[in-house]
Chain A
Amino acid sequence: MSGSCCAKGDEVMILACSGGSNVGQLTNQAAVELTREGFGKMFCLAGIGGGLKGFVKSAQGTPRVVVLDGCPVGCAKAILEREEIPLKSYIVVTDLGIEKNKDRQLAVNDEDLAKVKVAGKAAASLNNETSRPSCCGSGKSC
């Protein structure tokens, strides 16, 4: 969040499953790097999963939310569905041709990481609503 003004209403919220597998960790690292690069901001999926009202309300009220799941189990997707948060931009890492392994090394491959980041950006762009609110928000979150 910027220190000089309200958070921008067109900010991209990035939610990663951050699961305990190579593909889960790919979502986490992709979310971290996309945040560092200024594409969007990683947000606490755990807060939404815990049903904390501020987190849920923020996700419901943010027009651009990118959800990154590692595998078809779809934990992040399930959390959003339970909290009735629309799933607009959604990526499943295994759908990108990246195999989930069970070696528990949780290693993140640079090539795979780049692929996830590109897919995340593309998904957000495809679902970029025309009614993006301006700085300091004019969205319809209430």
Chain B
Amino acid sequence: MEIKVLGPGCPKCHEAEKIVREVVAETGVDASVVKVSDFQQIAQMGVFATPAVAVNGEVKCVGKVPTKAEIAAWINR
């Protein structure tokens, strides 16, 4: 499983990445977490506002830091 955290690098984006990594560690799921800060790549995914999170290429969340419960639900499906 690949989880992408999309955001240029402001505090909210860092927070989103941190929470995603925490959930991956806590759940023990086999997932790689990738931070994407390139605007072209972010735009190609159709993301209008950041931070955003995509799981296996599917955008799950746009414009906010997701909660741990939300992230857990996405990766446990």
Interface assignment of A20: CB less than 8 Å from any CB of chain B? no
Contact residues in B for A44 (Cβ distance below 8 Å):
46
Q: Is the beta-carbon distance between B63 and A1 smaller than 8 angstroms?
A: no
Residue among B11, B45, B62 having the largest count of chain A Cβ atoms under 10 Å? B62
CB neighbors of B among A60-76 (8 A) = 60-62
Question: Which of B10, B43, B64 is close to A138, meaning CB atoms less than 8 Å apart?
Answer: B64
Interface assignment of B54: CB less than 8 Å from any CB of chain A? yes
Contact residues in B for A9 (Cβ distance below 8 Å):
49, 63-64
Contact residues in A for B70 (Cβ distance below 8 Å):
142
Contact residues in A for B48 (Cβ distance below 8 Å):
1, 7, 11, 13, 41, 43, 58-59, 61-62
CB neighbors of B among A1-20 (8 A) = 1-9, 11, 13
> Assuming A6-B7, A6-B8, is B46 touching A61 (CB within 8 A)?
no
**Chain A residue nearest in CB terms to B39:** A1
B-side interface size class: 20 to 34
Interface assignment of B20: CB less than 8 Å from any CB of chain A? no
**Chain A residue nearest in CB terms to B46:** A54
Interface assignment of A140: CB less than 8 Å from any CB of chain B? yes
Q: Is the beta-carbon distance between A61 and B60 smaller than 8 angstroms?
A: no
Q: Is the beta-carbon distance between A6 and B46 smaller than 8 angstroms?
A: no
Interface assignment of A96: CB less than 8 Å from any CB of chain B? no
Residues of B in contact with A (beta carbons under 8 Å apart): 7-8, 10-13, 39, 42-43, 45-52, 54, 58-67, 70
Q: Is the beta-carbon distance between B61 and A58 smaller than 8 angstroms?
A: no
Q: Is the beta-carbon distance between A141 and B63 smaller than 8 angstroms?
A: yes
Contact residues in B for A141 (Cβ distance below 8 Å):
49, 61-64
> Assuming A54-B47, A55-B46, A58-B47, is B12 touching A136 (CB within 8 A)?
yes
Q: Is the beta-carbon distance between B45 and A133 smaller than 8 angstroms?
A: no
**Chain B residue nearest in CB terms to A9:** B63
Contact residues in A for B42 (Cβ distance below 8 Å):
1
